[in-house]
Amino acid sequence: MIEVKIVGVRIEMPTNQPLVLLREINGERHIPIWIGAAEATAIALAEQGVVPPRPLTHDLLCGVVKALGHSIVRVNLTKVEDAVFFAELVFDNGTTVGSRASDAIAIAQRAQCPIWAAEDMVNEAGVVIADHDDGGETASAESDDEAKEREVRQFREFLNDVEPEDFEK
């Protein structure tokens, strides 16, 4: 398994399809996952630290798990089949529950647990976004926000030349 982090949620143009972009923590590959609008909103709100006045479904699930005396300790992205990503929630007692990848990612944010991706899945769906920086800045000199914006800019350049079918086997 490979640990990944959320880069952000974006809208792919011209189709206006939302996607969440993940990146290997100790690598260069990115994993774009096309998701639904509701899941994109849930992930983006949590990414921005917005707490809704009433709990969203993902907040509710995390609250129920906590009220029952348990916690979600990690999320595993397990496989991709026909451009559909599968995941599972892993609880503190070892129980696992299958999930859509987008829901699992939204829950991982709220549970503040790591996200792991199966190596086969990363090998199949992961893409390397070429570094086009000409400014001579090193990554260590960048702030987290600058690094995130650079990754997003590179990913947008990548999206200009890719179609969703390119991720199918």
Condensed to tens digits (0 to 9), the pLDDT of residues 84-141 reads 999 999 999 999 999 999 999 999 999 999 999 999 999 999 888 765 444 433 333 4
Q: Parallel, antiparallel, or unpaired: how do β-strands 72-81 and 115-117 relate?
A: parallel
DSSP string, 72-127: EEEEEEEEEETTEEEEEEEETTS-EEEEEHHHHHHHHHHHT--EEE-HHHHHHH-E
| Domains contained in the chain, CATH given | 2-167 (3.10.690.10)
CA 96 – CA 76 distance, rounded (Å): 9
What was the pLDDT predicted at 138?
35
What was the pLDDT predicted at 139?
38
What was the pLDDT predicted at 11?
85
* Element spanning 33, H or E: strand 29-34
Average pLDDT of span 133-159 = 54
Supply φ then ψ for residue 35, to 5 degrees.
-135, 175
* Amino acid residing at 158: F
Note whether 78 and 118 are within 8 A (CB). yes
